Structure 1
Amino acid sequence: MAVIQRRGRRIMMTDEERDTYLAEQRTCRVATVGPDGRPHVGALWFCWDGTSLWLYSITRSLRWSHLGHDPHIAVVVDDGVEYGELRGIELSGEVAFVGEAPRTGEPCPELAVPEELFAAKYFGMEVMPHDGRHAWLRLTPKAVTSWDFGKLSDPPTV
């Protein structure tokens, strides 16, 4: 994973800060592009395993259809209200479809960790429930940009 920080190196998150932030946050925004060139952005739940972002998507969604034509994706996870609270991460690259689609729980060793993380994070469970409508997308980012405006010593006043 390449860290792409065009500007603002002093507000960039460390690897440890990034991992903690992605473990704590619950919703990301996922951007895809359809075969007609139209972009689509939608909110989605996710988990981070330290290397890849795992997205649990409805297989009959516009997002899924777009990714079937073009696996390139950009994902933003951000939060904050006041200027000095703004934090976030943008991850981009190509997704891989992992496991059966839709997911019914067939054995898939590659999904053991993300399903354990996701089940604990969103359902408070040890075992992932499967609804026969969702499936997994794995983004091992080619580029990562992060920001934490709390690292600025003198945020601007409004």
Structure 2
Amino acid sequence: MSRRDQIRMTPDEVQAFFAAQKVINVASIGPDNRPHLAPLWYYPHEGGVATWTYGSSQKAKNLRRLPEATVLIESGDSYEQLRGVSFEAAVEFVEDTEQVTRMGIALMQRYAGAAPDDPAPAELQAFIAGQAPKRVGLIMRPTKIASWDHRKLAGVY
């Protein structure tokens, strides 16, 4: 078995990694055909990830022009601890304000440490409802996935 095969995550490990991490780096293609990278909060969604951004942001403009992205989620402070998932994604825009509001609440609840089904405080709901008209939801569904978990090598290279 190749080293590459030894460090590849299983589909369940990929999903667990999505759930455990907090920031994605999203690459889109800018108007000058150069990569545009942006870190975003996210939540796992239907085998991929979901997030939101300002509708007027550069990443939103880029993704409207070409609704494809490359997403990176990684962790580890030393070589033997490196873990990550990089995936190419088809990007779906969500523009319905009620649905964008639900996405914003899901994001804020996740980063506040709440369980997905916990009721959101009224203050949070009001704040997100005020933000949602300026934002769009982004659902990123993987079309190709690469993963690695160097911990699987147990320090033997």
TM-score > 0.5 by shorter chain? yes
2:33 matched to which residue of 1? Answer: 37
* Cα distance between partner residues in 2 of 1:72 and 1:139: 8
Instruction: Return closer, same or farther for 1:94/1:50 CA change in 2, 3 Å cut-off.
Output: closer
Distance 1:117 1:21, change over 3 A: farther
1:121 aligns with 2:110: yes
Inter-partner Cα distance in structure 2 for 1:16 and 1:143: 16
Return the TM-score normalized by structure 2: 0.79
Q: 2:119 and 2:77 mapped to 1: Cα distance?
A: 33
| Residue number in structure 1 paired with 2:144 | 143
Query: Identity over aligned residues, as a percent?
Result: 27
State the one-letter code of the partner of 1:79: S
Give the residue type in structure 2 aligned to 1:135.
V
What is the Cα-based RMSD across aligned positions, in Å? Answer: 2.5
- Is the 1:57–1:134 Cα contact (8 Å) retained in structure 2? yes
Once residues 104 and 56 of structure 2 are traced to their aligned partners in structure 1, the CA distance between those partners, rounded to angstroms, is: 20
1-structure distance, mates of 2:35, 2:104: 29
CA distance in 2, matches of 1:151, 1:136: 35
Aligned match of 1:4: none
Deviates further, 76-85 or 8-17: 8-17
Tell whether 2:72 aligns with 1:76: yes
Contact 2:52 2:104 (C-alpha < 8 Å) held by counterparts: no
**Kept in 1: contact 2:28–2:70 (CA 8 A):** yes
* Structure 1 runs not aligned, ≥5 long: 1-6
- Contiguous gaps of at least 5 residues in structure 2: none
Residues 84-128 of structure 1: CA distance to partner in whole angstroms, max 9, x if unpaired?
11000011122010133xxx4x2x4x986x556423311346336
Alpha-carbon offset, residue 60 of structure 1:
1.8
Instruction: With the length of structure 1 as denominator, give the TM-score of the two structures.
Output: 0.79
Secondary structure class of the residue paired with 2:42 = strand
Question: Of Structure 1 and Structure 2, which has the larger fraction of its residues in helix?
Answer: 2
Distance in 1 separating the partners of 2:78 and 2:119: 36
